[in-house]
Chains A and B, each alone.
Chain A
Amino acid sequence: MATASVSTPLKSHHGIFSTKTAGGRMPLTPSPRARTTSIATNVSTTPSPFTPPRPDRSIHKRETSTIFSRSVSRSVSKFAYAQSPKSNIAKCKKSPKHLDLGVSDFTLVGTGPSTTTPSRERLRKDTTVRARGGKTTIRVPHQTADRFIPNRSASEGIVTAGSAKSDENSRPKTSSSDTSSVLNGAFGISARNADADITAALDNLGLEDDNTTASSRSHSSASAYESTLASACGISTNQRILAFKPAPPESSKPIDLRTQYNRPLKQASAQSAQFRRRIQSAPERVLDAPGLVDDYYLNLLDWSSQNQVAIGLERNVYVWTAESGTVSQLLEAPADTYVSSVKWSGDGAYVGVGLGSGEVQIWDVEEGTKLRSMFGHDTRVGVMGWNKHTLSTGARSGLVFNHDVRIAAHKVAELVSHTSEVCGLEWRSDGAQLATGGNDNLVSIWDARSLNAPKFAKKNHRAAVKALSWCPWQLNLLATGGGSYDRHIHFWNTTTGARVNSIDTGSQVTSLKFSNHYRELVSSSGFPDNSLSIWSYPTLVRNVEIPAHETRVLHSCLSPDGQMLATAAADESLKFWKVFERKAGVSASASREGGIGKGGQLAKQMTIR
């Protein structure tokens, strides 16, 4: 009768069950619905008779003495299965508890799982109905199918119930001739559908199931839970799933897979990861710089070729020796003025100090003595630059003087171009050209041989130009950065005077430094970013932006070996950044030894303490 309808997987089960090789429960992989239908048919044929005797066996196995509890558990399991057959694990966990509840309290069980209670009632009704009339039972079978599925993966209680049912069903089907088996099967079906029928069926089934389950799975709830979990995951209990806990690195950018499927073999210009260098974004060292004047137009920080950093703090100039980490006060200016600029000579032996009064002093740092004072400016000297024995000084008046520091009549040239304060001044490393920038938004490029008028006067910037840097690998390339209204970095060919590139940085450019080792330059910025940006040249790609200071970065200078950048900011701190760190394997082409703007002195490996 029912057997004909049973699907192939069911048949296999039946065969197994019929042989009563209960020890190994069959995996219920085949489609549950097919089974259910078959079951249903069985049920209709053979109703209640077996139900009463079976309960005892089932109780023993489940540890729940009452039939009700069993029925409850079954119903629960069925519901869970019906809801989500695939996620067996979670259901399994719940099911044992439900079973226990059911055992202890009838009412509790029913109430607890809302789904279960109705199922019980239905089941009971169904069972009764079925036992007497086959019609009702027929409807039930579909539900049973759902219940069936869970049985496979179900926890012990569920498993037993489910397995028992399945066994019964299979048995009846297989041995349809045996009335008892048929009855069992019917009961099992009914049980699935209706609790009462189920209980009876369960007893029978439970016995068989228990045997099978016992052999295959451990009876203890914990082990059963584990095993169900394990089986659900497709692993055995003596295994662990281990995950590598550290989070994988973030992707450097969002990826559109579609471009990935259809991309050129060689990327045209995009820098591949192996050549991308990592830039430390944390400062190597932080020093206090109390009293640092928050004035964009001053130049109060410089790093010598002898690895000493001079910084002007109000009226004082301090020298910090990187090798030893010691700080010494070099000078204190008179009370009526302040230090407006400091600049090391190329050999690192002397430091030029510009004062607010317009006086320029030259100090021997080793001796700690002032060598001479040079007068001439009547406004503050905000910027200076050495070219061998020539010291160029730019003043608020807009005048730039060249001083030959060796002779008494020190003023050798007066460079007239700017109409407002000169705040940027940089000699090219070979001393052939001088670039000056001023508050008149002008960049003047001077030929050292003819200082009567600037070779080029560039008016592209729309704000004061303080940031100037000559390119170490291309002598006629000059980068200039404008102030807060301008925010641009312009690149100039100083031979032709042409502007060759521009970057909109988005914030005030307070300083610019080309790297000696990389085709890169670093810019420091004021409002709103207060950051350091490292740009590739000539691609103009911003490689990294480092949030550097809390307030605008006022000054920056490179260490003699070109790896370290020192920045001083209005937050009164002096920070050291390893922005151009050289790795051991860097190829010769990438590294460019030799100082830029350091009087041509060879850079040395240096340490900072």
Chain B
Amino acid sequence: MAVGAKEKADTHKIALKGSAKTVAEFFEYSINTILFQRGVYPAEDFTPVKKYGLNMLVSSDDQVKSYIKKIMSQLNKWMMKSKISKFVVVITSKETGEHVERWQFDVQVFGKGSKQKSSKQEVESENATPGTAELEPEKTEVQIQEEIQAIFRQITASVTFLPMLDGNCTFNVLVYADADSEVPLEWGDSDAKEIKNGEKVQLRSFSTTNHKVDTMVSYRLLD
């Protein structure tokens, strides 16, 4: 029995790791997609990459690439430890310094809240017939990919209703992390960079075995 429990714990860990990786990867492509779709960098700086069954555009500019890489490497670490509850890309006007658009990705970690639950389940699983331990059928990789694809399609489509940006914009990345997270020097406390009088639009979500990610864009209403 103990062996079985240990095995289970291991698989859980692996699942969490893989799930965190999926989410982090999703964030990376999200940044690139937003930078491309919202014209933060010129279109010719992006090259198409097949991903999620789509042609995802990722930056091929060395500086942008390394900038995103730096963000992602830290994000990966936090994701592995389930420290993150929100990931935000804020687009700011260079001229006025005003935040004009805010893409927010809410992360729910199933493992965190349901830890006691899972232990309970284990107790109960002693009585249950073997094989029924997993109550919910796990999503297949393909299903997750499709969900993510749907989000990217939506992000791309949202360009149609988002206000025109003048092209003179820059971006910032925010992360809502637990207070006990390890914070490297390059990251510092910030305000939420909310859009004043912003309009909010909830986009699709996707979920893996351990995470659920909700997408929301808020943007400045035109006066």
B42 contact set on A, CB distance < 8 A: 251-253, 255
Stretch at the interface among B15-23, B119-127, B144-152, B160-168: B160-168
B39 touches A239 (CB 8 A): no
Interface string of B179-193 (1 = CB under 8 A from A): 111010011111111
B61 touches A249 (CB 8 A): yes
A244 touches B172 (CB 8 A): yes
Q: Which residue of B lies closest to A259 (CB)?
A: B43
Which residue of the partner chain, among A253, A260, A271, A273, contacts B59 with CB atoms under 8 Å?
Answer: A273
With contacts A254-B168, A260-B39, A278-B62 known, is A242 near B47, CB below 8 A?
Answer: no
A244 contact set on B, CB distance < 8 A: 70-71, 74, 172-175, 186-187
A261 touches B45 (CB 8 A): no
B179 contact set on A, CB distance < 8 A: 237-240
What's the least CB distance linking A235 to chain B, in Å? 6
B173 touches A243 (CB 8 A): yes
B190 touches A242 (CB 8 A): yes
Bound form: Cα–Cα A266–B62 in Å? 20
Which residue of the partner chain, among B165, B168, B175, B194, contacts A242 with CB atoms under 8 Å?
Answer: B175
A249 touches B186 (CB 8 A): no
Interface string of B84-101 (1 = CB under 8 A from A): 011000000000000000
Bound form: Cα–Cα A250–B86 in Å? 25
With contacts A239-B179, A242-B188, A242-B190 known, is A257 near B164, CB below 8 A?
Answer: yes
B190 touches A243 (CB 8 A): yes
Which residue of the partner chain, among A238, A270, A271, A273, contacts B178 with CB atoms under 8 Å?
Answer: A238
B186 touches A240 (CB 8 A): no
B61 touches A242 (CB 8 A): no
Q: Answer yes or no: A609 CB below 8 A from chain B CBs.
A: no
Which residue of the partner chain, among B85, B167, B171, contacts A256 with CB atoms under 8 Å?
Answer: B167
With contacts A240-B179, A244-B70, A273-B59 known, is A257 near B41, CB below 8 A?
Answer: no
Which residue of the partner chain, among B43, B60, B63, contacts A249 with CB atoms under 8 Å?
Answer: B63
What's the least CB distance linking A92 to chain B, in Å? 14
Q: Answer yes or no: A324 CB below 8 A from chain B CBs.
A: no
Bound form: Cα–Cα A278–B66 in Å? 14
A585 contact set on B, CB distance < 8 A: none
Q: Answer yes or no: B26 CB below 8 A from chain A CBs.
A: no
Docked complex: B175-217 residues within 8 A CB-CB of A: 175-181, 183, 186-194, 197
A239 touches B172 (CB 8 A): no
Q: Which residue of B lies closest to A237 (CB)?
A: B179
B67 touches A248 (CB 8 A): yes
Q: Which residue of A lies closest to B104 (CB)?
A: A234
Q: Answer yes or no: B64 CB below 8 A from chain A CBs.
A: yes
Q: Answer yes or no: A245 CB below 8 A from chain B CBs.
A: yes
Q: Which residue of B lies closest to A261 (CB)?
A: B159
Q: Answer yes or no: A496 CB below 8 A from chain B CBs.
A: no
A248 touches B192 (CB 8 A): no
Most buried by B among A241, A274, A276, A278: A241
Interface string of B26-57 (1 = CB under 8 A from A): 00000000000011111111110000000000
Which residue of the partner chain, among B168, B176, B180, contacts A235 with CB atoms under 8 Å?
Answer: B176
A276 contact set on B, CB distance < 8 A: 61
Docked complex: A246-288 residues within 8 A CB-CB of B: 246-261, 263, 267, 270-274, 276, 278
Q: Which residue of A lies closest to B166 (CB)?
A: A257
A608 contact set on B, CB distance < 8 A: none
Bound form: Cα–Cα A503–B186 in Å? 44
What's the least CB distance linking A32 to chain B, in Å? 17
Docked complex: A144-160 residues within 8 A CB-CB of B: none
A248 touches B47 (CB 8 A): no
A86 contact set on B, CB distance < 8 A: 197
Q: Which residue of A lies closest to B64 (CB)?
A: A249
Q: Answer yes or no: A233 CB below 8 A from chain B CBs.
A: yes
Q: Answer yes or no: B108 CB below 8 A from chain A CBs.
A: no
With contacts A252-B42, A256-B167 known, is A241 near B67, CB below 8 A?
Answer: no
B178 touches A239 (CB 8 A): yes
Docked complex: A216-250 residues within 8 A CB-CB of B: 233-235, 237-250
A-binding residues in B (CB < 8 A): 38-47, 59-64, 67, 70-71, 74, 85-86, 159, 164-168, 170-181, 183, 186-194, 197
* 16 A-B pairs (CB sep. < 8 Å): A233-B194, A239-B176, A240-B179, A242-B174, A242-B177, A244-B174, A245-B187, A245-B188, A249-B64, A251-B41, A252-B42, A253-B42, A254-B167, A255-B39, A257-B39, A273-B44
**When A and B form their complex, which 8 residue pairs have the shortest distance between CB atoms, in order from nearest?**
A243-B190, A255-B167, A249-B63, A274-B60, A273-B45, A257-B39, A273-B61, A255-B39
Known: A238-B180, A263-B43, A273-B46. 9 other contacts (CB 8 A): A233-B191, A238-B178, A242-B176, A242-B177, A244-B71, A249-B61, A255-B168, A257-B39, A273-B59
